[in-house]
């Protein structure tokens, strides 16, 4: 694995204007991403974790090109891609694919498996002949543990785990280098989740894939991630190697998330959720965004926003008191 990033964001910002109340002159804006810098290395599983509404899905969608940034830059293999139009971007789209959370919604219910898989080949790899495209579809079906007899069947004929295998096959069919996997196991039965995670790991080892793996579940990250970015209110709070983050979490938010991981013995499998609620992203608090929930906040935290900074253990944390 080299340290030269395959994907990089610099100062990435996404804001969504909200409808104005008819009695108000204010134009509310939701701050979905705030100055996010990531540099994803080839071959790694870069995990992004955080509660709902923290901006992790927006980050994945903006990198892949489904969302335009309000400010900042996105690079793929050193080339800036966020300013490209659809035609310029087309050759890169085969290299960057996405697996969505819900395999019940992400597959066209009227399209059989073969047509679902061959469509990206026809669109993004026009140099392939029809027989080469058919061979390609068969190859990815085999690689993802799908039976060749599935090709003429429709999505409703499959279980959730089988549909997610088909969705992974669709992402792989253009032979990408980078995949955004947005909560790829959270809609599946617990018994199936490990199978899909193992499949993603095996495919990464075989094909040298790089993942941006988005999840709310830190216990998944511990076994799957190379590095972890913990997000809160559109910002990265901590970025560390997985082993460092789990053995010595530096940010109070990470510490609370780790404490909230449910234990198998006698515990429930409800989503980890530290005490308190996310602040309103339309009116984020001044200073540290985590201050209203932080058990060790001091006066400085409520007025001065902490920047992400490097710590002695190699991690980066946005906290005045880390270390
Ligand atoms: Fe808590 Fe202050 Fe650190 Fe924010 S900067 S996480 S409020 S200690």
Q: What is residue 263's predicted lDDT score, i.e. its pLDDT? A: 54
Residues sharing a CB contact under 8 Å with residue 44, sequence separation 6 or more, in sequence order: 1, 210, 211, 226, 227
- Report residues whose beta carbon is within 6 angstroms of any ligand 1 atom: 252, 288, 290-291, 294, 296-297, 301, 306, 319-321
Q: What is residue 26's predicted lDDT score, i.e. its pLDDT? A: 76
Mutate to test the pocket of ligand 1, among 238, 299, 321 (most ligand atoms within 8 A of CB): 321
Is the distance from CB of 228 to CB of 245 less than 8 angstroms? yes
**What pLDDT, in 10s, does the model give residues 271-307?**
456 677 788 888 888 999 999 999 999 999 999 999 9
Is the distance from CB of 122 to CB of 132 less than 8 angstroms? no
Q: What is residue 2's predicted lDDT score, i.e. its pLDDT? A: 60
320: CA distance to ligand 1 center in Å?
6
290: CA distance to ligand 1 center in Å?
6
Predicted confidence (pLDDT) at residue 152 exceeds the cutoff of 90: yes
2: CA distance to ligand 1 center in Å?
33
Percent of the chain whose pLDDT exceeds 90: 78
Residue with tokens 């792989």: 172
Cα 249 to Cα 200: distance, rounded to the nearest angstrom: 26
CATH of domain 1-18+28-95+176-275: 3.40.50.300
- pTM score: 0.92
Q: In this structure, which residue's CA is closest to atom 3 in ligand 1?
A: 319
Sheet holding 227-232, edge to edge: 96-99, 178-182, 210-215, 45-49, 227-232, 235-241, 316-317, 309-310
321: CA distance to ligand 1 center in Å?
6
**What pLDDT, in 10s, does the model give residues 41-97?**
999 999 999 988 899 999 999 999 999 999 999 999 999 999 999 899 999 999 999
Domain span(s) for CATH 3.40.50.300 in the chain? 1-18+28-95+176-275
Q: What is residue 102's predicted lDDT score, i.e. its pLDDT? A: 87
Is the distance from CB of 261 to CB of 268 less than 8 angstroms? no
Taking CA atoms, 156 is separated from 59, 103, 164, 250, 303, in Å, by 30, 10, 12, 45, 53
**What pLDDT, in 10s, does the model give residues 162-193?**
999 999 999 999 999 999 999 999 888 888 99
Predicted confidence (pLDDT) at residue 3 exceeds the cutoff of 80: no
Number of other CB atoms surrounding residue 318 within 10 Å: 23
Mutate to test the pocket of ligand 1, among 232, 293, 320, 322 (most ligand atoms within 8 A of CB): 320
* Helix H or strand E encompassing 167: helix 160-172
245: CA distance to ligand 1 center in Å?
17
Residues sharing a CB contact under 8 Å with residue 159, sequence separation 6 or more, in sequence order: 192
Is the distance from CB of 260 to CB of 272 less than 8 angstroms? yes
What are the DSSP E strand ranges found in 233-295? 235-241
Cα 19 to Cα 29: distance, rounded to the nearest angstrom: 9
């Amino acid at each position: 694995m080299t340290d030269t990033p395959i994907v990089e964001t610099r100062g990435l910002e996404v804001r969504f204007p909200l409808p104005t109340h008819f009695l108000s002159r204010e134009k509310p804006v939701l701050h979905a991403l705030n100055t996010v810098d990531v540099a994803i290395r080839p071959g790694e599983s870069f995990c992004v974790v955080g509660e709902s509404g923290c901006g992790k899905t927006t980050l994945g969608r903006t990198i892949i090109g489904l969302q335009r940034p309000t400010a900042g830059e996105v690079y793929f293999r050193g080339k800036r891609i966020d300013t490209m139009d659809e035609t310029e971007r087309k050759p890169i789209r085969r290299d960057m694919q996405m697996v969505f959370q819900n395999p019940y919604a992400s597959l066209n219910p009227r399209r059989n498996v073969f047509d679902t898989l061959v469509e990206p080949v026809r669109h993004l790899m026009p140099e392939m002949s029809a027989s080469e495209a058919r061979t390609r579809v068969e190859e990815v079906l085999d690689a993802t543990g799908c039976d060749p007899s599935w090709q003429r069947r429709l999505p409703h004929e499959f279980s959730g785990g089988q549909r997610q295998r088909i969705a992974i096959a669709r992402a792989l069919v253009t032979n990408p280098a980078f995949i955004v996997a947005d909560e790829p196991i959270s809609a599946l039965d617990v018994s199936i989740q490990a199978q899909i995670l193992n499949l993603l790991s095996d495919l990464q080892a075989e094909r040298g894939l790089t993942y941006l793996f988005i999840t709310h579940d830190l216990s998944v990250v511990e076994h799957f991630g190379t590095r972890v970015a913990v997000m809160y209110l559109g910002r990265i709070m901590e970025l560390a190697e997985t082993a460092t983050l789990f053995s010595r979490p530096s940010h109070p938010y990470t510490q609370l998330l780790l404490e909230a991981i449910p234990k198998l013995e006698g515990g429930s499998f409800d989503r980890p959720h530290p005490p308190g609620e996310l602040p309103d992203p339309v009116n984020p608090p001044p200073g540290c965004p985590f201050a209203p929930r932080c058990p060790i906040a001091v006066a400085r935290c409520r007025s001065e926003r902490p920047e992400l900074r490097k710590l002695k253990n190699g991690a980066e944390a946005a906290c005045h008191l880390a270390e």
